[in-house]
């Protein structure tokens, strides 16, 4: 029986970002005839400037709250959509697929789920400004330009990096970052999936070669944990964590969509 191509795409942003980071992807996919949704985390409906001025809603977020929020959105759709997540949004996509939601999942520079043991130094350095202070667990923690440039835009010129910072960067929920740091020590972690789930939708990992905060090696290790279903991996040369916004983002968007329409297990060797 022929499987129909999904007609809806749901885009899930990462930490220190809002759906503004997907604006050009929304238009790109809509021009190809898809209905595109880019909902924000619960409580983050404001613009970047407003969230910087009053980040209190951000401090309330946890992995469970964010995943449940997106699960409700996806479950309410008439058909299963293609799910695309960047950074922590990639973790959310993995957890949604584990719940049986989504026709296909693409995770871009994804944060890991429970069970991925690799912790690269550049990842530690990228989040140290938050994790060094335990009090940040219950705060919305801003990111300086210097920290943003190291974690997100390390391949860009300073002018390009500053433009991205001013347009997109917001505080991040410390609770989610601490949950991520202790993910493999917490038996009740909300970021746990069944790597052997037999009926999981196809899953595609996309990584940037120069990504500091979620390095390609981390994404490959995450992909290799899956023991069932169609799982693929591709590394884009020269790309950093700002892969969805930096020059050449169209190539990434087109690769994600092409794979979602015709999934195949490649790139895990």
Give residue 61's pLDDT.
97
Whether pLDDT at 2 is above 50: no
- Take residue 56 and report the two structure tokens written for it: 């209190």
Model pTM? Answer: 0.96
pLDDT at 187 over 80: yes
pLDDT in tens, 117-136: 998 999 999 999 999 999 99
Residues in a beta bridge with 203? 105, 231
C-alpha distance from residue 46 to each of 16, 18, 26, 138, 166 (Å): 14, 9, 18, 20, 15
Give the pLDDT confidence score for residue 266 in this predicted structure: 87
CATH 3.40.50.1820 describes domain 8-261: yes
């Amino acid at each position: 029986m022929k499987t129909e191509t999904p007609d809806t795409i749901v885009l899930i942003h990462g930490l220190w970002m809002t759906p503004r980071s997907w604006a050009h992807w929304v238009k790109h996919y809509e021009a190809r005839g898809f209905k595109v949704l880019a909902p924000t985390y619960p409580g983050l409906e404001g613009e970047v400037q407003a969230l910087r001025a009053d980040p209190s809603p951000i401090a309330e977020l946890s992995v469970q709250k964010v995943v449940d929020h997106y699960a409700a959105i996806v479950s309410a759709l008439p058909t299963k959509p293609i799910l695309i997540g960047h950074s922590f949004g990639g973790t959310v996509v993995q957890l949604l697929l584990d719940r049986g939601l989504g026709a296909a999942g693409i995770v871009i520079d994804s944060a890991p789920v429970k069970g991925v043991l690799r912790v690269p130094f550049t990842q530690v350095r990228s989040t140290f400004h938050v994790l060094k202070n335990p009090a940040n667990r219950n705060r919305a923690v801003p990111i300086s330009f210097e920290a943003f440039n190291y974690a997100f835009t390390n391949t860009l010129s300073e002018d390009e990096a500053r433009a991205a910072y001013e347009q997109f960067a917001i505080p991040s929920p410390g609770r989610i970052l601490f949950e991520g740091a202790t993910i493999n020590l917490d038996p009740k972690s909300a970021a746990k999936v069944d790597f052997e789930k037999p009926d999981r939708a196809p899953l595609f990992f996309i990584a940037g070669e120069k990504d500091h905060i979620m390095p390609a090696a981390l994404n490959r290790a995450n992909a290799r944990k899956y023991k069932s279903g169609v799982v693929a991996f591709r590394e884009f040369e020269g790309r950093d964590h700002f892969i969805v916004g930096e020059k050449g983002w169209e190539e990434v968007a087109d690769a994600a969509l092409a794979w979602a329409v015709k999934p195949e297990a490649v790139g895990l060797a």
